[in-house]
Structure 1
Amino acid sequence: MPRTVQTIDMTQILSILRAIAGQLDFRGVVSAASAEISALLPHDHLDVAIMDSKRTMVSAYETGLHTEWDASTTATKPVKVSPIRPLFLGKVDYILTDDAQNDPRFHFEGAFSKPIFAAGLRSRLHVPLKVERRVIGALSFSTQEIGTYRLEDVETARIVADILSSYFFALQQSELVRQSELQQVQAEARAEGLRIGALHLTEELENARQALGMDLHDQTLADLSRIARGLERAVGKPSLRGAELQPLHDDIEHCLRELRVIIDNAKPSVLQFFGFGQAVEALLERSVSSSAGLTYCLQDDGDTGLDELPPNTVVSLYRIVQEAINNSVRHARATHIAVSLNRHRGAARIVIADDGIGLGTAPGRRTGGLSNIRTRASLIEADLTVASGSDGKGTRLEILLPACTPAAQPVKASLP
């Protein structure tokens, strides 16, 4: 039986306005308006599609039958794949079809029309949502029957769209303001975190300078003084035999070894000449040799692409690993350290895990070390995760950073 076309009156307009008043999100407005509109424009499916500020992407909010266009089901979609893109682009002022399943306007290359067909939607009526004559979206009515809507229904749909468009525009602007404020707060938080972190790094740099001075004073200067005294004693002798020169030779060799350690701590030459993996292994060996009862394991897949990153980034990653290992050795009372270098979803991944006392009971010194690690990670835009171990014991630190393609890596020398 043909449907009687109804025209909208002031009472129905007020009913729609009262229904949507106080709704604070798109879905709430669509759902509230649907019940009031159904007597005027019957529908199995009603949706509102809103374009973003650049008018290139669209989000849909549905009631009744739900499709893959709904924002809760799929992310925003490009306007260019919408079956009603001429409406969004202002090329037409409405779209009316008796059967969308067989209407060529809904069938074009790249069209995201599958949701329409999957829901069995046939009769469709689409009108633009406008604010100050500018299209911001579309209001759509659909049924599973053929030939539900007539040309006379277009004017009613336009009146409903005019009622709703300003409300949707206000919600959209409110959301944009909220997102902008959130981004500003996040940016300020990051800036403050970097400021505090930079302060910690400055303190650590000063501590490193002092430690370097102490090492040179206590190790190298003492060795050189001992060598100088030995040479003074030898000056008065007419000749020296091999046995008398051996102590001087041993002292010089010891001094050179200590200098190499000090220099390598300040500038890791192993990293430069042999690559990231072997530099970490050398670091682990030194740490273990200086701590009784501590063991380690290193898993290096060899295809991380870390060595192809900018030199400053590689050094920063090395310092992060160094700080993490130092934390485990000095503060966590760990007996085992495991380091893994591999790829994860296209990114280089570094994992340092220990079986120590964990984060909850870690001394303040370790907390300061973690702050430095976080700052270094932020400066090179690496993703950092610090958590307890899988069994609730120890600490697990993970760094993720986009890396170069393994095929582009040069062959590194191997440690002798």
Structure 2
Amino acid sequence: MATLAQTSTPDAHQRDIFLRISAHLAHETGIQSALNAVAREVAEVLPHTHFDICLLDGPGWCVSYEVGITTRWSRRRTRTEVSPVRDILTGKVSNMICTNAMEDPRQTFEGARSEPIFNHRLRSRVHVSMRVMGQLIGTLNISHNEEGLFDDASLQLTEHLGDLLAPYFHALRLIEKAQRDAMERAEVQSREEGLRHGASRLAQAFEQERQRIGMDLHDQTLADLTRLLREVKDESAPLDRYAIASNLTRCIGDLRATIEEAVPSQLELFGFAHAISEHLEKSAARVEGLTVSLRDEADEAIDEIDPMVRTAVFRITQEAINNAMHHANATHIDVTIDRARSGGLRVRVRDNGRGISLAPTDRKSGLLHMETRARLILARLDIENLGGTCVTLTLPHDVKGARP
């Protein structure tokens, strides 16, 4: 068994170790790297199987950094009320010695996050509070497999060590928090800028779409109706009621198709998969030799998300199908709805056509509209040449607006 010091004040050797610890800390800029740097010196005065610090992380929460053994304590934040060192974190006591923590009710109470104690048999444990200018910032924790290893002398050495480490780790924690806050602010600003840019692009896309619909109505439907009006007014020629009725029926069909393209009623009435299936069948009917297929491997989960997000997904999928039909010379279009490894919903449109140019200078307005819509719903859009074009839209796992 390792021999622990039996004096309450550090001797010359221990003071030299503490100086070396200070020297190590002066060169470190991160909490975990600082902990790694001093672990060997700490082991010279306090032999341990596990060594960690637990820092308060906002009201009711704490976060741990550890060396020797990696456990669940450092993988995620923990509520202070279920921490094995809650009595120190809540100010009830300033220190704690456990002869056998596996049997100590202070650490193994109901609901306690004490699995690592049992998984790694951390029997002997000594804990002290870490304070900066009188303010509690966390705890220093030393653990060993051997039972009954720590005593009052080792407790006092741990307190000396805690006093030494506290200001360093408090400063490093403040630096870490400031860096994290700065990154979060930058991310928010970037996202807001992206949304503003996306909204502007989408407004432009809406205007272009409005103009396209207007031109379609003018060049096709209005022209046909004008011609029919001239035929009806021409009293010099016999009136062919059958031809007029046939032409009117075609005009109504064209007008209905334009309306359905603008307002996806199939999507609202019957769901995403049905609406895409209808669009695929219409596409196949318009192009000779074109076959289509659809697989929904997500059990209609896409119909449970927010309607605005679902409509954007529909428009992106519709545009990908249209591109494959009009520009790829494809003979088959396949649409798959499933889940990505991240858990997020995914829609993939793949064709066997000639592929697509991905150069920025060759990007068409349709692709730009797809990218804009994807950015506005925080989705990822990937366009690849894989023996044809493959368009993959992946929604985030926690897509906002999801219905309960």
Both proteins in one fold, TM over 0.5: yes
Cα distance change on mapping 1:139 and 1:392 into 2, 3 Å: farther
Cα distance change on mapping 1:341 and 1:124 into 2, 3 Å: closer
Cα distance change on mapping 1:172 and 1:378 into 2, 3 Å: same
| 1:180-223 alpha-carbon deviations (Å, 9 max, x no partner) | 12112222222222233223222222221221222112111211
What is the aligned partner in structure 2 of residue 156 from structure 1? 157
Query: For residues 146 and 157 of structure 2, what CA distance do their matches in structure 1 show?
Result: 20
- 1:330 pairs, out of 326, 333, 336, with 326
What is the aligned partner in structure 2 of residue 409 from structure 1? none
Matches within 5 A, 1:66-145: 66-69=69-72, 71=74, 74-145=75-146
**Is residue 2:43 matched to residue 1:47?**
no
| Greater mean deviation of Cα atoms: 357-366 or 368-377 | 357-366
What is the aligned partner in structure 1 of residue 210 from structure 2? 209
What is the aligned partner in structure 2 of residue 20 from structure 1? 25
**Is residue 2:352 matched to residue 1:351?**
no
Query: For residues 58 and 355 of structure 2, what CA distance do their matches in structure 1 show?
Result: 47
| 1:56-75 alpha-carbon deviations (Å, 9 max, x no partner) | 13223123xx152452xx33
What is the aligned partner in structure 2 of residue 290 from structure 1? 286
SS at match of 2:300: coil
The share of aligned pairs that are identical, in percent, is 35
What is the aligned partner in structure 2 of residue 30 from structure 1? 35
Note the residue ranges of structure 2 that are not aligned, 5 or more in a row: none
SS at match of 2:45: coil
Query: For residues 277 and 25 of structure 2, what CA distance do their matches in structure 1 show?
Result: 65
Query: For residues 184 and 12 of structure 1, what CA distance do their matches in structure 2 show?
Result: 41
What is the aligned partner in structure 1 of residue 373 from structure 2? 376
- Cα deviation for residue 91 of structure 1 reads 0.8
What is the aligned partner in structure 1 of residue 65 from structure 2? 60
TM-score scaled to structure 1, two decimals? Answer: 0.83
What is the aligned partner in structure 1 of residue 257 from structure 2? 261
Query: For residues 392 and 163 of structure 1, what CA distance do their matches in structure 2 show?
Result: 63
- Cα deviation for residue 108 of structure 1 reads 1.0
- Cα deviation for residue 297 of structure 1 reads 0.7
**Is residue 320–residue 391 contact of structure 2 (8 Å, CA) maintained in 1?**
no
**Is residue 2:393 matched to residue 1:398?**
yes
Query: For residues 217 and 36 of structure 2, what CA distance do their matches in structure 1 show?
Result: 75
What is the aligned partner in structure 2 of residue 413 from structure 1? none
Query: For residues 399 and 18 of structure 1, what CA distance do their matches in structure 2 show?
Result: 49
- RMSD across aligned positions (CA): 3.0
Cα distance change on mapping 1:245 and 1:204 into 2, 3 Å: same
- Cα deviation for residue 247 of structure 1 reads 1.6
- 1:321 pairs, out of 273, 298, 317, with 317
- Cα deviation for residue 13 of structure 1 reads 3.4
**Is residue 98–residue 123 contact of structure 1 (8 Å, CA) maintained in 2?**
yes
| Greater mean deviation of Cα atoms: 394-403 or 260-269 | 394-403
Cα distance change on mapping 1:365 and 1:205 into 2, 3 Å: farther
What is the aligned partner in structure 1 of residue 246 from structure 2? 250
| Greater mean deviation of Cα atoms: 137-146 or 214-223 | 137-146
**Is residue 126–residue 155 contact of structure 2 (8 Å, CA) maintained in 1?**
yes
| 1:264-287 alpha-carbon deviations (Å, 9 max, x no partner) | 222233334443323212222233
One-letter code of the match for 2:170?
A: F
- Cα deviation for residue 93 of structure 1 reads 0.5
One-letter code of the match for 2:274?
A: Q
Cα distance change on mapping 1:143 and 1:275 into 2, 3 Å: closer
Note the residue ranges of structure 1 that are not aligned, 5 or more in a row: 406-416
Cα distance change on mapping 1:200 and 1:108 into 2, 3 Å: same
| 1:321-364 alpha-carbon deviations (Å, 9 max, x no partner) | 11222232334443322112356787654322223444654675
Cα distance change on mapping 1:308 and 1:119 into 2, 3 Å: closer
One-letter code of the match for 2:368?
A: S
Query: For residues 4 and 266 of structure 2, what CA distance do their matches in structure 1 show?
Result: 83
**Is residue 359–residue 395 contact of structure 1 (8 Å, CA) maintained in 2?**
no
Query: For residues 19 and 310 of structure 1, what CA distance do their matches in structure 2 show?
Result: 53
- Cα deviation for residue 256 of structure 1 reads 1.2
TM-score scaled to structure 2, two decimals? Answer: 0.86
